[in-house]
Structure 1
Amino acid sequence: MPGWNARNIPAQSGRTAVVTGANSGIGYVTARELARSGASVVLACRSAARGRAAVVRLRAEVPGAEAEFQPLDLADLSSVREFATAYGRRYPSLDLLVNNAGVMALPFGRTADGFETQFGVNHLGHFALTGLLLPRLRAAAAGARIVNVSSGFHVLGKIGFGEDGGEDGPEGTGGFGGPGSEHGYRRWVAYGRSKTANLLFTHELARRFAAAGSTITAAAAHPGYASSNLHSGASKLEGPTLNSRVAALGNAVLAQPTASGALPTLYAATAPGVRQDAFIGPRFGWRGAPAPSWRARWTLDDTAGERLWAASEKLTGVSYATLPR
C-alpha cells in the first residue's frame, strides 16, 4: 500500500462502473482513472451540461475511453429510480458502484422529498441508489464492489437514538433527515451526521453481505484534505464572504491535489484484498498515499447500523428484501 498510485490500478477491462458526482473533482478523477484502466464508466451527474462536458473532457484525456453520462439527482428519489431503471435497460450487470457525490456544510434546505439536504443527498440518495442497483451488482461475473465516500468530518456528528427506539437528532434536522426546520440547524453537525451515516451504511451493508455469503464487497474511503469545489460550495451560495476566502486559501495552500485525493477511493474500488467494511484514507490523515483510516467507534455499532438501515428503507421506500439481516 505505501506509495500506491493510479498506475497500480489493476486492469479493469470488461468491467462496468458507475461514479456519482463524476463531473468534477474527485469524482471526475475517479471516473477518468477507471476508464484509463479499461472500465466502461457511467458518469452519474445532476447537471446534464456539466455531465456531458465531463465526458467530452474525459475522452480527450483518455482516447478510446468508454464513458457516458446519465442524469442523476440524488436530492430527488424519483430521479434515483429513473437512473436505476435506465441503467438496467442498458447494462445487465454492474461491477463497481462509487457513491461519491455529496454536498458539504450547506445552509438549511430540503430535498425534493422533504429531507434535510445534506442527509438526503449524502446518505438517503445513495442508500436508495445502491438498493435499486443491487440486482445488477449481484449479476456481476466476479465480486462487485460498492465504495461509499465519507469524510474525516464524520466525527462532528453522531447519529443518536431515543430511549423509545425512535430517531433522535440535533434540533432542526428532523431526526434521520426528516422535514425539521431551520431553527437550531448546525450545518457542520448535519454534515458530520451524513458522513457518519455513510460509514454506518457501509458497516451494515458489509455485515449483511458477509452473513449472506455474498461476493460483493462494501468499503468506504475519504480523500483527506484535497483541493475540491466541495469545500467552497457552501460559501459560493452565500457570496464572497470570509468563509469563501478561507476555503480558497485552504485549497491553495494546505490541500493536496485532487488527483491525490481520489487515490483512497480508487484503492478501495480496485486494489486486491480490500476487506469488507474497510475505510481507506490518506496515510497521514489529511494527505499521503492510501492507507487504513481511523474511524469513530460509533460507526462500527451494529445496533445503530440496523436502526439506520430500517429508517432509511422507510424514508426512501427502497427495500433490500433480497439481503436479509
Structure 2
Amino acid sequence: MADTSEARGARTWNATHLPDLTGRTAVVTGANSGIGLAAARALAGAGAHVVFAVRDLARGGAAAARVSGSTEVRRLDLADLDSVREFAAGWDRPLDLLINNAGVMMLPERRTAQGFEMQFGTNHLGHFALTNLLLPYVTDRVVTVSSGAHRMGDKVIHFDDVNLRRNYAPIRAYAQSKLANLLFTLELQRRLTEAGSGVRALAAHPGYASTNLQSHAANPLARALMAVGNRFLAQDDKAGALPTLYAATQDLPGAAYVGPDGPAEMRGAPTLVGRSAAASDPAAARRLWTLSEELTGVEWGIAAPVR
C-alpha cells in the first residue's frame, strides 16, 4: 500500500471509525462468541439492528443480552441445510449486511446432517445456501470470513472427493473450506456484476485471533500449541473482528479481501490483502459454484423472486 494519508488512516482504523449505521440491519452468523460477537457488538454500537444467527439460542440470547443496542436472536445451524432453509424462510425484510462469520476449525472427522464433511459443509456449503436464499433481500454487501489457512493443506478443492472420505486430515479439510470461502466470494461477485446488481461480495480474515475455535482442534498437541499462541501471540477478538467490520462498512471494490496489515498478516489494522493463486482461479470458482448448487439444492439467489 502506498504511504498516502488514506493508507496511513487505514493502518490506524478501528471500530471507533465505523459510520453511523442507524436504520441498517445486519445478520451475523456465529455471533454468540469470538470475532462474531465482537463484530455484532461493534455494529450494534454504531446503530445497526443486529441479528444473532446462532445454533444455540440460549447462548446466543446470553451473548445478545451483553450487547448494547438493537439485537435479536434467531436459530441457525449451518451444519443442517434444513435449518438454513428454515432461517431463510423466516426472513421477510431488507437486509443490508450479511456477515458469514461462523465456522469450525480442524475437527476430528465428522459429518453434517446431510452427510457432508463437517468443515466444508459448515464453513462453505451452509453459508453458500444461506447467502443464495437471502440474496433477494440483501441491499448492500455479503462479507464471508476466510483465513490465511486457505494457503495451507493441498491448496485445491478436491472436486473428486470434496468430503475427503479417502484422505481426511483436519488441516486439509479446514484449508479446503477456507479456500472455498474465497472462491465463493469471487464467483458471487462475478454473478452480481453480470446481473447488474449493486450488492458487493467481499471476504476478510482475522489474522491470528484468540477465540474458542482453536480449542476444538482434533490433535491434543495442536490444541496445546494454539493455547500458548492464543496467550502470547494472538490479538484479541475485538482486533480480530476489525477486518470483517472494515469489509462490511468501507467503500471497497467487490471481491476485495481484507486482513491485518502486520507481518504475515497475523495482527494489525485492517487493509486490503492478497490471496493465493488457487483462491484467484475463476474456473475453479465457477466449478465450485456448480458443485455447491448440486450438493445443497440451492441455486443462484439473485434470480429468485422477493417474497
TM-score, reference length from structure 2: 0.92
2:28 aligned partner: 19
How far 1:87 sits from its partner (Å)? 2.2
1:199 aligned partner: 182
How far 1:86 sits from its partner (Å)? 1.6
Matched residues in 1 for 2:134 and 2:167: separation?
36
How far 1:176 sits from its partner (Å)? 2.7
1:274 to 240, 244, 252: 252
Structure 1 residue ranges (4+ consecutive) displaced by more than 3 angstroms after TM superposition: 321-324
Question: Does the CA contact (< 8 Å) of 1:221 and 1:281 recur in 2?
Answer: yes
Question: Does the CA contact (< 8 Å) of 2:184 and 2:288 recur in 1?
Answer: yes
Cα deviation digits, residues 73-127 of structure 1 (max 9, x gap): 0000000001111222xxx110000000000000101000000000000000000
1:306 aligned partner: 286
How far 1:302 sits from its partner (Å)? 1.1
Q: Is the alpha carbon distance of 1:250 and 1:68 closer, same or farther for their aligned partners in structure 2, counting shifts above 3 Å? A: same
2:197 aligned partner: 214
Matched residues in 2 for 1:322 and 1:86: separation?
18
Identity rate, percent: 54
Query: Is 1:296 equivalent to 2:305 in the alignment?
Result: no
Question: Does the CA contact (< 8 Å) of 2:157 and 2:176 recur in 1?
Answer: no
| 293-302 or 252-261, larger mean C-alpha shift | 293-302
DSSP 3-state at the match of 2:217: helix
1:243 to 195, 202, 222: 222
2:73 aligned partner: 69
| 211-220 or 114-123, larger mean C-alpha shift | 211-220
How far 1:248 sits from its partner (Å)? 1.4
2:231 aligned partner: 252
Matched residues in 2 for 1:82 and 1:255: separation?
36
Matched residues in 2 for 1:278 and 1:117: separation?
27
2:151 to 152, 155, 162: 155
Matched residues in 2 for 1:127 and 1:213: separation?
20
1:86 aligned partner: 90
Question: Does the CA contact (< 8 Å) of 2:157 and 2:180 recur in 1?
Answer: no
Query: Is 1:184 equivalent to 2:188 in the alignment?
Result: no
DSSP 3-state at the match of 1:68: strand
DSSP 3-state at the match of 2:66: helix
How far 1:3 sits from its partner (Å)? 0.3
Paired residues, what number? 292
Question: Does the CA contact (< 8 Å) of 1:176 and 1:311 recur in 2?
Answer: no
Amino acid at match of 2:170: R
Amino acid at match of 2:162: F
How far 1:321 sits from its partner (Å)? 5.7
Amino acid at match of 1:248: A
Question: Does the CA contact (< 8 Å) of 2:133 and 2:301 recur in 1?
Answer: no
Q: Is the alpha carbon distance of 1:282 and 1:96 closer, same or farther for their aligned partners in structure 2, counting shifts above 3 Å? A: same
1:286 aligned partner: 266
1:229 aligned partner: 212
How far 1:2 sits from its partner (Å)? 1.6
TM-score, reference length from structure 1: 0.87
How far 1:202 sits from its partner (Å)? 0.2
What is the RMSD computed on CA atoms of the aligned residues?
A: 1.5
Amino acid at match of 2:279: T
Question: Does the CA contact (< 8 Å) of 1:212 and 1:323 recur in 2?
Answer: no
Question: Does the CA contact (< 8 Å) of 1:147 and 1:219 recur in 2?
Answer: yes
Which segments of 5 or more consecutive residues in structure 1 lack a partner in the other structure?
162-166, 169-174
Amino acid at match of 2:128: F
DSSP 3-state at the match of 1:95: strand
Amino acid at match of 1:227: S
Which segments of 5 or more consecutive residues in structure 2 lack a partner in the other structure?
1-9
DSSP 3-state at the match of 1:87: coil
Matched residues in 2 for 1:281 and 1:184: separation?
30
How far 1:323 sits from its partner (Å)? 4.9
| 103-112 or 295-304, larger mean C-alpha shift | 295-304
